[in-house]
Structure 1
């Protein structure tokens, strides 16, 4: 059976699934792809601008409509414990389901799906990744929930060709949608933590607990998870303590990236002081016993390197979004004390 025949079968399944991921209420359609659960009136769009109510059916108008396509290092996403030193063909769509006021890709996330651009077939995307020599596929830049049914096809085809599948996401999928993503071939989730329940100024309507619920579910399904906490300037102890507590429930070995905020889009407060990031890293490690804590957006080799949580030996050195030094044994252990370091996927073949 060739690619086209297999994709046709998957499209049949996809159509059935889009019906299962919605509810019909008096001519309105409730979208169940993400936890916004948009109730869409006839002829209208959901919040993310990618799903429409057409003749009482949930239709994915953003299917295959891509805003960017680029081969990128997996470390830039960031993934530090997932297929290290590999590259992934990274793609994105349009729109979002949260609309963070500090969004760095607002020119994509705050946009409608253009009507005048052609769709990129899943086969073409996979073939491009293979031609570029990438080892994986990654949905990023804007929120991947906007491309949900497209992702199912892309990652299933990619897996058949030996490509890993990963997402950079806000993690606000419904549990059912998350299950379907993992089943289709998604094995890596870089999940952005957008805040905590006490936030009032931004994203107050978002249930941040569901982000950690989904991270836990992805882990239980056998996927790899790394959490990313962008520290906006006005963060407080109540907020970061809640985040660290939730993270620890995922497991002490789940990587946590604490990233520096810079003024962007609507959010114009000053950038986060580096001293604050250093303080939070120390708290996460010493008070909450999180083993792998990294600082991002400050260009620090020291704080992007992996150290053995048992003996302190520097094991993996990263610079400019690449691994430049790899000191683990073939079994993935610290050569000094023998502690197993969690790495998902193969070790770097060359540096």
Structure 2
């Protein structure tokens, strides 16, 4: 299923090129995410259309603050992951195996449901979307033909070939989790530089990107780590790509205490003042102030949000500030109140 140029064969082993894990899979075996298998010398996507959860959700909850504001997306997920973060908020999906009797949901059925439910788009989320890769290609193409946008909440660890094909199929929004930095002890086998590489590639191909830094106590919140993240964001992605600095709460195997709010606000200040990032938000603390978009030129309040909805839209035509005419980067139209 649509694996052209996304796998390589070496005798009886197949290398999967959907993500940067690049699993070498022997005959009859599966890759790390458990969704791709080597069957008789062919890479087969056994997770195709195997959906674990489907529900309509506000786009702001992803989080997307500059992408189709105030819209809703039919949000769906599969099973498994390629990272297995010990603090995963959706570990019941990400750490689970493919159930044997789960029916395959055709792309047409998912798109029809989105339209019937009056959603504006589709979003692959909850578990890592690389597990649903070829299904996303088919579903996003169909969604685009029927007037829906398509987006992902992802760790951003696609290969560049896979990422390009995904965008060609209609993916236009990427909420990308940056898990940490090269010096972090957990997830030490992940090359975090490739996450920024992919975020930049998505921008170059015309997609929208927002980065999410879940700040985990005594894990990825040390000075060298957050300076590395902010520096990479500034140099590679630029000052106008939104950054969400989110509070962590204990979950799954990780029992460190919740991130101190004071720490989160300090990180926001550093990102803005030392790295000149224009759109830095602090999430998971329920603060309207820190989820509001301010004009980076004059400080005017432009978009006020609360509980994952837009409360006030103060942008003029072409998404410009009413006070100084600074253009604010917004992808897609706002869904009016």
Determine if the TM-score, normalized by the shorter chain, exceeds 0.5: yes
CA–CA distance in structure 2, aligned partners of residues 326 and 233 of structure 1: 34
**1:177 maps onto 2:155 in alignment:** no
State the Cα distance separating 1:242 from its structure 2 match.
Answer: 0.4
Unaligned runs of 5+ in 2: none
1:235-250 aligned within 5 A = 235-249=221-235, 250=237
Q: Quote the residue 1:197 is aligned against.
A: 182
1:277-316 aligned within 5 A = 277-316=264-303
CA–CA distance in structure 1, aligned partners of residues 102 and 184 of structure 2: 38
Could you tell me which of 37, 48, 53 is aligned with 1:68? 53
**1:325 maps onto 2:309 in alignment:** no
For residues 231-251 of structure 1, the C-alpha deviation after alignment (integer angstroms, 9 at most, x for no partner) is 011121100000001111201
Could you tell me which of 143, 150, 156 is aligned with 1:158? 143
CA–CA distance in structure 2, aligned partners of residues 188 and 116 of structure 1: 32
For residues 316-337 of structure 1, the C-alpha deviation after alignment (integer angstroms, 9 at most, x for no partner) is 0000100010000022100011
Query: Could you say what secondary structure the match of 2:47 adopts?
Result: coil
- Aligned CA-pair RMSD: 0.6
Query: Could you say what secondary structure the match of 1:187 adopts?
Result: strand
CA–CA distance in structure 2, aligned partners of residues 252 and 111 of structure 1: 38
Query: Could you say what secondary structure the match of 2:297 adopts?
Result: coil
CA–CA distance in structure 2, aligned partners of residues 117 and 212 of structure 1: 35
Could you tell me which of 254, 260, 267 is aligned with 1:267? 254
State the Cα distance separating 1:154 from its structure 2 match.
Answer: 0.3
Partners of 1:19 and 1:58 within 8 A in 2: no
Partners of 2:114 and 2:121 within 8 A in 1: yes
Q: Quote the residue 1:257 is aligned against.
A: 244
CA–CA distance in structure 2, aligned partners of residues 333 and 293 of structure 1: 18
CA–CA distance in structure 2, aligned partners of residues 20 and 205 of structure 1: 24
CA–CA distance in structure 1, aligned partners of residues 36 and 102 of structure 2: 17
CA–CA distance in structure 2, aligned partners of residues 65 and 129 of structure 1: 17
Partners of 2:29 and 2:38 within 8 A in 1: yes
TM-score (norm 1): 0.94
**1:31 maps onto 2:16 in alignment:** yes
Query: Could you say what secondary structure the match of 2:317 adopts?
Result: coil
CA–CA distance in structure 2, aligned partners of residues 103 and 331 of structure 1: 38
Could you tell me which of 161, 172, 190 is aligned with 1:206? 190
CA–CA distance in structure 2, aligned partners of residues 264 and 26 of structure 1: 42
Could you tell me which of 96, 117, 121 is aligned with 1:132? 117
Partners of 1:155 and 1:184 within 8 A in 2: yes
CA–CA distance in structure 1, aligned partners of residues 313 and 193 of structure 2: 36
For residues 17-65 of structure 1, the C-alpha deviation after alignment (integer angstroms, 9 at most, x for no partner) is 4142101112011100000000011111100000001111100000000
Partners of 2:71 and 2:334 within 8 A in 1: no
Could you tell me which of 109, 134, 140 is aligned with 1:149? 134
Could you tell me which of 204, 209, 219 is aligned with 1:220? 204
The runs of 4+ residues in structure 1 deviating greater than 4 Å are none
Q: Quote the residue 2:80 is aligned against.
A: 95
Q: How many residues align?
A: 334
CA–CA distance in structure 1, aligned partners of residues 212 and 268 of structure 2: 13
Unaligned runs of 5+ in 1: 1-14
State the Cα distance separating 1:114 from its structure 2 match.
Answer: 1.0
CA–CA distance in structure 2, aligned partners of residues 341 and 185 of structure 1: 24
Partners of 1:71 and 1:89 within 8 A in 2: yes
CA–CA distance in structure 1, aligned partners of residues 54 and 106 of structure 2: 13
